Chain A
Amino acid sequence: MTAGCSTMKRAPVNKIIPFSNVDGPGNRTSIFFQGCPFNCLFCHNPETIHMCRNCGACVPGCPVGALSVDADGKVQWNHRACVQCDACIKTCPHDASPRVRWMTVEEVMREIHRTAPYIGGITTSGGECTLRNEFLIDLFSEVKKLGKTCLIDSNGSFDFSADPRVLAVSDGVMLDVKAVGEAWNNTLISHDRATVLKNLDYLLRVNKLYEVRTIIFPGRDQENEETVRYVAERIGGACFYKIIRYRPFGVREQYQKLLGEDTTDADYAERFAALARSLGAEKAYVV
């Protein structure tokens, strides 16, 4: 199934995780959409960045024959046969994945109806879920009917102030603020940071910021501090501030060399959480 083949609203879903305890408060169903405008060096699921180009490179390597090329030259994925060995995404030369389902809101809701008794809400993530805002608006409206909350996990590339419809049906945003310094941002993200920082202020103002997340890199004292200071001074006690330790697991090899092959030391990360708290971000914590 491809995007253009239906008049029904569909979105490319990379993964639905029935129960997650790290994507917002309580137990949540997390929906990961395919595609991201950023190309962060530290991304540890880079296969979610690009859409499949149907080059077919992954097909022969599938050990269970779950991948094929159809008559139109499109790569097809049989999710029932798939054993999630990740051979395809390791082969993919384009940071994409053939394991994407173009799903309708109804199809996603079918999964959420199953998890609804056990969850407080859903979180949409990615990739970058705000690339699918029209889909999110419909999805959230349906989820709200179940009395569940809807959180958006976003890299901040979409200007929320430009179109408030998706915020109107969502309970809040978990915003990544990855780098504040311009040079460091440009190295790390390959995307302008202005919209991210604008969103930080806007979401605070409209009271829709649930959490900000910043990754702490080993040995990057100055860069880490600049970002943490900037965020902490703005958010104060208004939302959670999740200080995330950089972990090399899953990071593309060439970037591991640049960013480091070690996980950020817990005590080192804790220093920045303490700094954030000292600047008023009282709900700063390390994961």
Chain B
Amino acid sequence: MSKAFDIISNEVLTYRQQLIALAQLGESTDDTLRYSDAYYEAKAKGALCDLNEGCMPFRPRYICPDYELLFEKGCKFLELDPPTDLLEAVNVLEIFYAHVPSITTYPVYLGDLDKLLEPFVLKEDRAFAKKVLRQFLLQIDKVLTDSFVHADIGPADSVTARLLLELTEEMQLAIPNLTLRYDPELTSDDFALACIKCMLKTAKPSFANHRMFVKEWGERYAIASCYNGLQIAGGGFTLPRMRLYECSLDAKSPEDFLENELKKYMDLQLEYMDKRVKFIVEQSSFFKSNFLVTEGFVKLENFTGMFGVVGLAECCNHLLGIEDKKQGFGMNEEATALGIRIMDRIESYVAAHEAPYCDSCGHRYRLHAQVGIDTDGMDDSPGTRIPIGVEPTMLEQLEVNEKFHPYFPTGTGDIFKFEETYLKTPEAILPIIKGSLANGLRYFSGYLENNDVVRVTGYLVKKSEIEKLRQKKQSLNNVTVFGMGAQDGGHALDRRVQHHEESAGQ
């Protein structure tokens, strides 16, 4: 049987999922875009991974349109006028979203929804506005059926943000992913607490370190897909990743790795990125004829390449001969210090590389702590995270994270699972978030132990949807299958739970 037949006859895939799979299959039939033999060897060994981005990229991986421009000028190609009220605004967005491509075929950035919609919401009665926003969120969940669809709110409080939080909690949907840009001066404690309450009940929003992102990107940055920092009216061309554990397997010593092996794989990943970026810009039609480009919703100069790494913990443990993960990276100063040396080396090496295009970033790629994929198993932990199952106390986990998050302007993050008593004490979480962001944490996610909507590695799924797949039933959300893989192979839902102090009070 052919691969196409397998897809067509697969009863667990929805029609859209079949369509996407068939498109990927079609793309894989062309090998115009070639890399060096050494690259293919490294890929075959699992040291480098292209995240199944496809052989012939026909759009940048992540696209973050300028929705403010859409509201200001409308869209000629889609024959949309600038909206004049809330119903029109929501309608314009819904239409536009359907035409924003990405690696997933769905838009990975829906805009700063509070800022975009607030002027229209304020003109309406609150109950009416809430009803409209409810339909808007329902439309997103049922039509943009992919958990990498992501919306942003904050840093300031607004009626729209509050309505979105209320609805998020009431509706219990996995889509869209949601981020609060948190700034200790611009975000009130009351608003932050409302976000924490919502996060405990629905695993969103996450908290992004607004000051850190603004310093790197300016005010006009987006948090897209899992937790990816990118420029608005721009995006990310491509995201390959070094699987650092596999990269370390041939190294004779930590020094050999730092001096030789690491450089070898970085060169190959850079070669891959350079060729791919040039292909997307020069060969594929996107930057020549797509209306997003021709009407200025995205600009070529605002895109960059995302240089991904994964599995730093396992890499360090392997290089130091540490077999017991409990004594390894995150719990062991020597391993953590080696991690810093490796990241310093990667950071300076990538910063020295002249990248094609990427004008706004000074012709440079930016680092990304890739969050892992369902087939990684336990070999490579996400980005620079401490492996699941051996996490130390939350304090120690935060301290390690704070050392590594600053390396990754295009995104990293960690996730903390809380037990039930935190529902009653959200004010116990706020100082943790404030303290860690002030100390260099980039992105904080949390959820409650027993929720249906949970954060797997960076994206959200419903546990009940994973159950559907297990029973060979279709799941509308394209990402549920990744969640199932990450749960089975990577134990991604078994992370340490932050407990209250159990011996107190009796």
Contact = CB atoms under 8 A, between A and B. Distances in A.
Contacts of B321: none
B501 A242 contact: no
A213 B432 contact: no
Interface string B190-208: 0000000000000000000
A99 interface: no
A117 interface: yes
Contacts of A18: 393-395
Contacts of B432: 19, 27, 118
Interface residues of B, number: 27
A25 B431 contact: no
Given A27-B431, A27-B432, A120-B431, A21 B503 contact: no
Interface stretch (B125-133, B145-153, B297-305, B422-430): B422-430
Contact of A20 (B398, B427, B434, B504): B504
Interface string A30-72: 1010000000001111000000000000000000000000000
A287 B420 CA distance: 11
Contacts of A42: 506
A244 B505 contact: yes
B431, B498, B503: residue with the most chain A Cβ atoms closer than 10 Å: B503
Contacts, number: 81
A20 B506 CA distance: 15
A44 B395 contact: no
Contacts of B431: 26-27, 118-120
A118 B437 CA distance: 10
Nearest to B326: A83
Contacts of B395: 18-19, 114-115, 118
Interface residues of A, number: 34
Contact of B439 (A25, A117, A153, A287): A117
A159 to B, nearest CB: 23
B166 interface: no
Contact of A215 (B422, B429, B503, B506): B506
B421 interface: yes
Given A44-B506, A118-B395, A244-B505, A20 B438 contact: no
Nearest to A18: B395
A21 B506 contact: no
A20 B436 contact: no
B330 to A, nearest CB: 15
A23 interface: yes
Interface string A1-34: 0000000000000010111111101111010100
A15 B503 CA distance: 11
B435 A22 contact: no
A175 to B, nearest CB: 12
B440 to A, nearest CB: 10
A114 B435 CA distance: 11
B232 to A, nearest CB: 31
B500 interface: yes
B452 interface: no
Interface of A: 15, 17-23, 25-28, 30, 32, 42-45, 114-115, 117-120, 125, 153, 213, 215, 242, 244, 246-247, 250, 287
18 contacts: A17-B501, A18-B394, A19-B394, A19-B428, A20-B504, A21-B425, A27-B431, A28-B428, A30-B504, A44-B503, A44-B506, A115-B395, A117-B435, A117-B436, A118-B398, A153-B504, A215-B506, A246-B506
